[in-house]
Amino acid sequence: MFFFTPPSLIQKLSNNFLHWKIKTLDKKVFLSFDDGPTPGLTKEILSYLNQYNARATFFCTGKKARENPDLIQKILENNHCLGNHTYHHLDGWRCSTNKYVKDVMQCDQVFHSSLFRPPYGRITPAQIKQLKKKFDIIMWSLMSYDYHPRMSPERSLKKLNSITDNGSIILMHDSLNAKHNLKYILPAMIENLAIKGYKFERLDQEFLYEEDNQSPK
């Protein structure tokens, strides 16, 4: 079973310390890409985004960022922003708080960002307590399942187009196991949403905290 949106109860219970969606009345959506940067894919993603003047946030692992500094530079040169995704892509449910936080800080030594997203979306209350002192912890409101072998790109695209709304944080992957689906989903989704009047923004501080986001303009 595929859950394109996180359970509403989980969102409500954690909304004070995790960002699931941006509160805005404006037609803005927030594309995010996990697990990169990836040779053979990151540049393609950047090309698709540039065609529509779309901005996005790339949650990169420290290990891959260290191995591919040229791709990190390309992301920044194209006016996108970075987010911390741990150094070794750790599962927070399977390691101690101390080990997890150290891994996050190891990634922070490779590149600095105030944004953090836990791999697999798995993080414990103790880990949250430590990391929220330094980072805004970003989750997602829509999951593309672009990486999943049993998810057809057509189904994913149809679902994303139907449930995206103002402030949606859309999770996709900058990884080779997502490449086939992503190459179908991403350009078509951007085009469809652009036709509906949506703008594609980075997860900047102004959107995370500015109260005016909730006011008509």
pLDDT at 94: 98
Q: Which of 3-12, 33-42, 89-98 has the weakest average pLDDT?
A: 3-12
pLDDT of 154 > 80? The answer is yes
Q: Where are the domains of the chain?
A: 21-214
Rounded Cα–Cα distance for residues 59 and 171 (Å): 10
Q: Per-residue pLDDT tens for 17-37?
A: 999 999 999 999 999 999 999
Rounded Cα–Cα distance for residues 34 and 171 (Å): 7
CATH number of this structure's domain 21-214: 3.20.20.370
Are 57 and 92 contacting, i.e. CB atoms less than 8 angstroms apart? no
Q: Per-residue pLDDT tens for 69-113?
A: 999 999 999 999 999 999 999 999 999 999 999 999 999 999 999
Q: What percent of the chain is modeled with pLDDT above 90?
A: 86
pTM above 0.85, yes or no: yes
Residue (of 1, 37, 17, 2) closest to 145 by Cα position: 2
Residue (of 88, 44, 59, 52) closest to 182 by Cα position: 44
Give first-to-last CA distance, the chain, whole Å: 39
Are 171 and 50 contacting, i.e. CB atoms less than 8 angstroms apart? no
